[in-house]
């Protein structure tokens, strides 16, 4: 299965991997800036998000990204991952270090992370709302949880639209399939990496970001004080500048 994607620009390849609250539209505010900075930019929708259909069997998001790289003739790329997209980036970088030249991770999830009681409670609350048929309530829970206090009405409307679409696509599927579990050793993810945390994000993700340089061979952590969990949507122009500067620092193809 080929996941939906867009590509534009020329130069070293940069692949944008979205959060599970969003889809590839979360990168709208950085799309042109990265092209204008001399990169070939690719963004995709994972299965069940955006314009990619829900999975019809067991699948591996990291393998879908690798398949996309193969199809586009990209031997090596920098990966920019947000939240769930960050976890996918880490998996691909650990399993296929030859394909990943650099990473920039925004509030990433981490393979094997044990969720806190706070995160588990949020998950249970979301499931309860969905099972009761209150999709609007589930959407608003995610908007409140994942956007920082400085996110404006436009940012909230954008996340609301993307999250509702994901719920609609996934709940319309005849059968639900999860991703195939994969064990990775993050010490194998040798690509130069910058990890950014949000000052207003949940503690799980702040701890993940701060702790990754202790495991990754070539990583540095920095905090974005104003950010919640989705900086690319909260402050698009500032995040575009952050990504361009970060990529210029770590992506040396």
Is the Cα dihedral 203, 208, 110, 100 positive or negative?
positive
pLDDT value of position 102: 98
pLDDT value of position 11: 96
Taking residues 169-188, what's their average pLDDT? 86
pLDDT value of position 253: 80
Q: Among the residues of the chain, which ranges form H helices?
A: 28-36, 61-71, 84-95, 117-131, 135-146, 153-172, 203-211, 231-234, 236-250
Give the pLDDT confidence of 3-42 residue by residue, as tens digits: 999 999 999 999 999 999 999 999 999 999 999 999 999 9
pLDDT at 1 over 70: no
Q: Distances from the Cα of 127 to the Cαs of 18, 122, 162, 195, in angstroms?
A: 21, 9, 18, 30
The full set of domain ranges for the chain reads: 5-250
Give the pLDDT confidence of 66-101 residue by residue, as tens digits: 999 999 999 999 999 999 999 999 999 999 999 999
Sheet containing strand 193-198, edge to edge, reads: 5-8, 40-44, 13-17, 77-82, 100-106, 193-198, 219-224
Q: What is the largest CA-CA distance in the chain?
A: 50
Element (H, E) at 193: strand 193-198
Nearest partner of 185 among 99, 112, 98, judged by Cα? 112
Taking residues 158-180, what's their average pLDDT? 88
- Is domain 5-250 classified as CATH 3.40.980.10? no
Taking residues 151-173, what's their average pLDDT? 94
To the nearest whole number, what is the mean pLDDT of the chain? Answer: 95
Q: What are phi and psi of 164, to 5 degrees?
A: -65, -40
pLDDT at 130 over 90: yes
Angle at 71 between CA 90 and CA 159, to 5 degrees: 55
Count CB-CB contacts under 10 A for residue 181.
9
Taking residues 101-120, what's their average pLDDT? 95
> Which pair of structure tokens corresponds to residue 233?
């949507």
pLDDT value of position 177: 79
Q: Residue 200: CB partners within 8 Å, gap ≥ 6?
A: 148, 149, 226, 227, 228
pLDDT at 224 over 80: yes
**The pTM is what?**
0.97
Radius of gyration for the alpha carbons in the chain, expressed in angstroms and rounded: 17
- DSSP result, 214-242: GTSTTEEEEEETT--S-HHHHSHHHHHHH
Q: At what angle do helices 117-131 and 203-211 cross, to 10 degrees?
A: 130
How far apart are the C-alpha atoms of 228 and 177, rounded to whole Å? 30
pLDDT value of position 175: 75
> Which pair of structure tokens corresponds to residue 34?
């990265």
């Amino acid at each position: 299965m080929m996941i939906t994607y867009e590509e534009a620009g020329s130069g070293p390849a940069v692949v944008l991997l979205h959060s599970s609250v969003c889809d590839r539209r979360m990168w709208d505010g950085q799309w042109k800036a990265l092209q204008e900075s001399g990169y070939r930019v690719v963004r995709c929708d994972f299965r069940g998000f955006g314009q990619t259909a829900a999975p019809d069997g067991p699948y591996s998001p990291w393998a879908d990204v690798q398949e996309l790289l193969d199809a586009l003739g990209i031997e090596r790329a920098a990966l920019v991952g947000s939240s769930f997209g960050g976890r996918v980036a880490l998996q691909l970088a650990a399993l296929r270090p030859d394909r990943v030249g650099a990473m920039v991770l925004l509030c990433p999830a981490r393979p094997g992370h044990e969720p806190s009681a706070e995160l588990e409670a949020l998950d249970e609350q979301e499931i309860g709302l969905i099972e009761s048929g209150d999709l609007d309530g589930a959407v608003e829970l995610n908007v409140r949880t994942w956007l920082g206090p400085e996110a404006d009405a436009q940012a909230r409307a954008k996340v609301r639209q993307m999250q509702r679409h994901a719920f609609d696509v996934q709940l319309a599927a005849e059968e639900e399939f999860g991703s195939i579990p994969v064990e990775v050793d993050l010490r194998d993810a040798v690509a130069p990496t910058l990890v950014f945390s949000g000052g207003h994000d949940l503690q799980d993700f702040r701890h993940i970001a701060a702790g990754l340089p202790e495991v990754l061979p070539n990583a540095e952590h920095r905090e974005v004080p104003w950010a919640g969990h989705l900086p690319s949507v909260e402050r698009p122009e500032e995040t575009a500048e952050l990504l361009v500067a970060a990529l210029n620092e770590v992506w040396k193809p």
